């Protein structure tokens, strides 16, 4: 049994429908809406929003989960924007994402830039137009903007781009990935913890848990790039190696990368054990790496 998967299955359709309907109601320019929905509806795994919701549910079992769809959705909007921009010819130049043509291939690069910009901006409408107290909303905006912005995901993306083809050290790759991939995952857990009124001590352990989760997610993604298939992943595989990307597999080799992944997952589990969350829905999210 995997409580995280059961939780996700319970709410996934409702969550996806909610995101779609909200955008249909709120975005009035037809081509802007079309571009946003094209990538959002393409069926991502929704790991980040469900990490936020699972953190909240693990802390407050009686919470009405649907009340937090807008908060969780804002994280997915940011993530989807980052994928659209990452796929552009001027960035990673990918033709397929989430099992379909990338946004710029379906439309045009100019339209893809605007679809990404709209998703990014709209995330902050959702973070502020909801029933939560103003103080919480301000903190949520801070967390998400810090993690997605110049000192978070964008910094990681910049380090990645300027170092493609050059070999970074293990420490440098970890720093890159903590920002590029880890920052948004950490934000998701932090936002769930904030909404779930976690104590300062629980917050510290959840922060460490989320950093480990983020790193594990990237190592797993690096491994899938060499062991997965295009139909499984919905995007081209083997590209990282070909283009000289700084990945764990390139740096360490497959077996040591797998060993490192297992050690990080174990460390993440211990953080939850320390605050008695080792039997929670959140703990079962770690089974993603099995």
For ligand GRG, the binding residues (CB under 6 A) are: 44-45, 47, 79, 82-83, 85-86, 98, 153-154, 157, 180-181, 218, 221
| Closest residue by beta carbon to ligand GRG | 44
Q: Which residue shows structure tokens 């991939």?
A: 181
Phi then psi for residue 100, to 5 deg, are -145, 170
Toward ligand GRG, which CB reaches closer, 74 or 181?
181
Toward ligand GRG, which CB reaches closer, 147 or 181?
181
Toward ligand GRG, which CB reaches closer, 153 or 198?
153
> 190: burial class by Cβ within 10 Å (0-12, 13-18, 19+)?
buried
How near is the Cβ of 199 to ligand GRG at its closest, in Å? 29
How near is the Cβ of 138 to ligand GRG at its closest, in Å? 23
Toward ligand GRG, which CB reaches closer, 83 or 159?
83
> What is the CA angle 125-203-188, rounded to 5?
35
How near is the Cβ of 201 to ligand GRG at its closest, in Å? 29
Q: Kindly give, in sequence order, each residue whose CB lies less than 8 Å from that of residue 62, ignoring residues fewer than 6 positions away.
A: none
Cα 129 to the center of its chain, rounded Å: 22
Toward ligand GRG, which CB reaches closer, 86 or 212?
86
If one counts every other C-beta atom within 10 angstroms of the C-beta of residue 250, the result is 18
Output b/e per residue, 123-159; b: 16+ Cβ within 10 A: bbebbeebebeeebbebbeebbbbbbeeebbbbbbeb
């Amino acid at each position: 049994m995997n409580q995280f998967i059961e939780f996700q299955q319970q709410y996934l359709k409702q969550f996806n429908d909610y995101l779609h309907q909200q955008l249909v109601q709120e975005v009035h320019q037809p081509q802007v809406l079309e571009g946003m929905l094209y990538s959002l509806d393409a069926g991502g795994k929704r790991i980040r929003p469900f990490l936020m919701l699972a953190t909240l549910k693990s802390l407050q079992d009686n919470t009405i989960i649907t009340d937090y769809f807008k908060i969780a959705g804002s994280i997915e909007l940011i993530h989807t924007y980052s994928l659209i921009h990452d796929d552009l010819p001027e960035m990673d130049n990918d033709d397929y994402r989430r099992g379909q043509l990338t946004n710029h291939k379906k439309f045009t690069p100019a339209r893809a830039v605007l679809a990404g910009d709209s998703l990014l901006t709209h995330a902050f409408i959702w973070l502020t137009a909801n029933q939560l107290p103003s103080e919480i909303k301000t903190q949520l905006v801070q967390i998400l903007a810090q993690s997605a912005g110049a000192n978070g995901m964008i910094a990681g993306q910049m380090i990645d781009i300027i170092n493609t083809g050059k070999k970074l050290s293990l420490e440098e790759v970890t720093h890159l990935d903590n920002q590029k991939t880890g920052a948004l995952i950490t934000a998701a857990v932090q936002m769930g913890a904030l909404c779930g009124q976690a104590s300062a001590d629980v917050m510290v352990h959840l922060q460490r848990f989320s950093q480990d989760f983020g790193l594990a997610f990237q190592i797993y993604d690096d491994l899938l790039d060499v062991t997965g298939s295009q139909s499984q992943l919905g995007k081209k595989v083997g590209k990282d190696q070909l283009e000289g990307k700084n990945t764990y597999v390139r740096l360490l080799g497959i077996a040591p990368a797998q060993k490192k992944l297992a050690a990080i997952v174990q460390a993440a589990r211990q953080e939850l054990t320390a605050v008695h969350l080792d039997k929670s829905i959140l703990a079962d999210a770690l089974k993603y790496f099995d």
